[in-house]
């Protein structure tokens, strides 16, 4: 267990709380994240199960934030530092008192596997740990507040919509070592996390444009976590309004050579935007629809349509459908 996990308590949240949380669908079938297009089992939970799971998430965030300070005090005591006493003496809070200690050190006795007593000298940058723990405490408080605010607005939402909201929370717990990773836990200018900002817009979008939420659920069922995050940021007004978002579908009427496919992808990249691109084709199993990686998403325009038609003629058919229209069969 990492030192930060030990302090913030996230890895040691009470079992009763974690037992209420539904499995993260983006980890489905493997401990490793799936890359690209996937086929994910649709959620079959009841509304009650989903709400209880989101509530458990909020409880874990809140309890983790509450336990951060006591555990920092306990850690400092192992190095002979009484943080409560120091905070009172300096007239500052616990975190500031810890930061002023800088690096601390102490000798720790332990027994090795042969039962022989050993001594290990350890050095801890208490100031750095305190800064990390304070940030995690603030994030826990923020996330808990965001989830409880969302739960207060769930009346009238369908089970499917609640499931999509839960998926957003699950996505916030998905990270990547790639430099393209989007952290939904990041705090933005309005003081909310990206996850909280998405959830604050969710009730209005679910009422005004339920088809967009339905599409989001289908995208989640067929995309890896990275593409799902990009789609979310575009859909929920992070890049542009929902009213102006489209699904750009390219139907391949004939088989296309490899070099032609490379050219097609280049054309899409030259018109980069935030409208998801779908390929539609037919193979031996029937009609297949594939949501492309976000690197191939476009800015839908007549110029792009004309360019593609000029290059591929009747071998492709293009359909642009607004997210404001009936899009339930698009994915």
| Ordered per-residue pLDDT tens for the chain, 331 residues | 445 455 545 444 555 456 689 988 888 654 444 555 677 888 889 999 999 999 999 999 999 999 999 999 999 999 999 999 999 999 999 999 999 999 999 999 989 889 999 999 999 999 999 999 999 999 999 999 999 999 999 999 999 999 999 999 999 988 654 444 678 888 887 889 999 999 999 999 899 888 888 888 888 888 888 788 877 877 765 434 444 567 888 998 888 888 888 889 889 988 888 788 888 877 666 677 777 777 788 888 889 999 999 989 888 999 887 754 433 344 4
How far is it, in rounded angstroms, from Cα 257 to Cα 315?
Answer: 12
Strands 272-275 and 277-283: unpaired
Asked if residue 255 and residue 218 are part of one domain, the reply reads: no
Instruction: Please give the residue range of the domain that contains residue 278.
Output: 245-322
Inside any domain, residue 331? no
Split into its structural domains, the chain has a count of: 2
Asked if residue 16 and residue 115 are part of one domain, the reply reads: yes
3-state percent helix, strand, coil for the chain, nearest multiple of 5: 50, 15, 35
**What pLDDT is stored for residue 321 in this prediction?**
78
Asked if residue 124 and residue 56 are part of one domain, the reply reads: yes
Which of 202, 235, 268 terminates a domain? The answer is 235
Inside any domain, residue 171? yes
Asked if residue 254 and residue 209 are part of one domain, the reply reads: no
Which of 190, 209, 235 terminates a domain? The answer is 235
- Look up residue 2 and give its two tokens: 């990492």
Which of 235, 260, 286 terminates a domain? The answer is 235
How far is it, in rounded angstroms, from Cα 266 to Cα 252?
Answer: 16
Angle at 48 between CA 210 and CA 219, to 5 degrees: 35
Asked if residue 281 and residue 162 are part of one domain, the reply reads: no
Q: Is the whole model's pTM more than 0.85, yes or no?
A: no
Inside any domain, residue 330? no
How far is it, in rounded angstroms, from Cα 8 to Cα 11?
Answer: 8
């Amino acid at each position: 267990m990492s030192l930060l996990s030990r302090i913030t308590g996230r890895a040691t949240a009470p079992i009763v709380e974690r037992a209420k949380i539904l499995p993260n669908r983006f980890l489905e079938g493997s401990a490793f994240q799936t890359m690209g297009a996937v086929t994910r089992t649709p959620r079959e939970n009841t509304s009650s199960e989903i709400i209880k799971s989101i509530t458990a998430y909020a409880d874990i965030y809140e309890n983790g934030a509450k336990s951060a300070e006591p555990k920092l005090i306990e850690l400092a005591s192992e190095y002979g530092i009484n943080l409560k006493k120091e905070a009172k003496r300096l007239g500052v809070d616990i975190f500031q008192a810890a930061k002023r200690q800088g690096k601390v050190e102490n000798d720790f006795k332990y027994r090795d596997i042969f039962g022989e007593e050993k001594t290990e000298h350890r050095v801890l940058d208490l100031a750095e740990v305190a800064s990390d723990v304070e940030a995690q405490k603030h994030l826990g408080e923020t996330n808990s507040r965001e989830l409880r605010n969302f739960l207060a607005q769930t009346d009238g939402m369908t089970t499917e919509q609640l499931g999509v909201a839960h998926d957003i929370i699950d996505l916030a717990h998905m990270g990547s070592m790639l430099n393209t990773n989007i952290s939904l836990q990041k705090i933005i200018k309005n003081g909310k996390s990206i996850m909280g900002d998405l959830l604050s817009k969710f009730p209005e979008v679910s009422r005004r444009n339920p088809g967009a939420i339905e599409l989001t659920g289908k995208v989640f069922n067929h995309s890896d976590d990275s593409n799902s995050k990009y789609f979310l940021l575009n859909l929920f007004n992070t890049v542009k309004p929902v009213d102006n978002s489209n699904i750009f579908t390219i139907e391949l009427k004939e088989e296309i050579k490899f070099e032609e496919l490379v050219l097609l992808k280049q054309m899409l990249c030259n018109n980069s935007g935030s409208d998801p691109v779908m390929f539609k084709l037919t193979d031996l199993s029937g009609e297949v629809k594939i949501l492309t990686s976000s690197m191939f998403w476009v800015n839908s325009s007549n110029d792009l349509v004309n360019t593609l038609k000029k290059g591929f003629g009747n071998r492709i058919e293009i359909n642009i459908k607004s997210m404001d229209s009936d899009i339930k069969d698009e994915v």
